[in-house]
């Protein structure tokens, strides 16, 4: 299906073994030729998005990265919950200068001159939340993506409710390693408890809209609770592994070293 469009567009198709999202995106960036790298998830839909993005990039030479405006598909309960989540996060993270403390590669662009495509834009060690890790690196450099409100990408989720909950739990576990890497950088990415409560209240008020509904709010609460439980379990298991490894390391360091017999011992 994709190959037939090569007659109309300059497409490069590269088949490779599955080595993770970060590796695949890095490979795509290396093969690309444009001055701007645009990342969009396969389940996302765009309508007049690239034209709006191009206009903003052209008129904002002082900015190197751009977060597109993500919306959910309100055709189902899972989609309405996603719309509620995205709307709340983007409103909360938007800064007064038009930049946003949020990065989601469901719709993101960055100038090629800003990154080293040979080294790779995304860290292959990050199995999930690789975009959040990239955000932490931008923040370390004193940068935040510019929010492009008119470049709208619909993040369509076609999963059932149970499948969506299972995916959230799996993602939370895989993100554990990524957040450990971010913590070592000393960058604060996660919201505080006070911010979290403020966002929950904002979600509740927004869910009063007929297009969203209260059921979407409850779905979000369940998803976030499950993610939180999995995240705590991940960190607890890491702590247990650390505590169990210490006695072994101590025993190994205290064990007598084996030496070769001296000449007097042999005689």
DSSP 20-73: -HHHHHHHHHHH--SSEEEEE-TTEEESSHHHHHHHHHHH-TT--EEEEEEEE-
Tell me the DSSP string of 156-208.
-----HHHHHHHHHHHHHHHHHHHHHHHHHT---SPPHHHHHHHHHHHHHHTT
Residue, of 235 and 165, whose pLDDT is higher: 165
For residue 246, give both structure tokens: 């210490």
State the average pLDDT over residues 94-102.
98
Ordered structural domains, the chain, with CATH: 19-245 (3.90.550)
Percent of the chain with pLDDT over 70: 91
Segment 255-264 long-range contacts (CB within 8 Å, at least 24 positions apart): none
Could you give the CA distance from residue 73 to residue 152 in angstroms, rounded to a whole number? Answer: 12
Instruction: Assess contact for 120 and 113: CB atoms under 8 A.
Output: no
216-251 pLDDT, tens digit per residue, is 999 999 999 999 999 999 989 888 877 887 666 666
pTM value? 0.85
Residue, of 27 and 2, whose pLDDT is higher: 27
pLDDT of 258 > 60? The answer is no
pLDDT of 15 > 90? The answer is no
Nearest Cα to 173, choosing from 103, 242, 226?
226
State the average pLDDT over residues 16-39.
91
Instruction: Assess contact for 197 and 88: CB atoms under 8 A.
Output: no
State the average pLDDT over residues 142-157.
94
Could you give the CA distance from residue 40 to residue 155 in angstroms, rounded to a whole number? Answer: 9
């Amino acid at each position: 299906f994709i190959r037939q469009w090569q007659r109309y567009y300059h497409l490069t198709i590269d088949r490779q073994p599955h080595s993770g999202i970060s590796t695949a995106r890095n490979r795509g960036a290396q093969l690309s030729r444009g001055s701007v790298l645009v990342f969009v998830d396969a389940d996302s839909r765009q309508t007049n998005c690239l034209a709006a993005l191009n206009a903003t990039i052209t008129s904002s030479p002082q900015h190197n990265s751009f977060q597109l405006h993500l919306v959910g598909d309100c055709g189902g309960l899972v989609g309405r919950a996603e719309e509620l989540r995205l709307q709340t996060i983007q409103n909360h993270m938007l800064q007064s200068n038009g930049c946003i403390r949020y990065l989601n590669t469901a719709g993101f662009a960055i100038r090629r001159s800003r990154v080293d495509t040979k080294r790779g834009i995304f860290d292959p060690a990050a199995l999930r939340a690789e975009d959040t890790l990239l955000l932490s690196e931008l923040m370390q450099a004193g940068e935040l993506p510019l929010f492009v409100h008119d470049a709208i990408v619909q993040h369509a989720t076609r999963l059932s409710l149970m499948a969506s909950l299972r995916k959230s739990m799996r993602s939370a576990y895989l993100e554990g390693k990524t957040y450990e890497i971010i913590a070592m950088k000393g960058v604060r990415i996660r919201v505080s408890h006070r911010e979290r409560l403020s966002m929950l209240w904002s979600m509740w008020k927004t869910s009063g809209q007929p297009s969203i509904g209260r059921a979407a709010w409850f779905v979000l609460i369940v998803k976030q609770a499950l993610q939180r439980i999995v995240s705590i379990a991940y960190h607890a298991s890491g702590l247990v592994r650390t505590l169990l490894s210490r006695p072994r390391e101590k025993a190994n360091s205290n064990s007598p070293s084996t030496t070769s017999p001296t000449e007097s011992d042999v005689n």
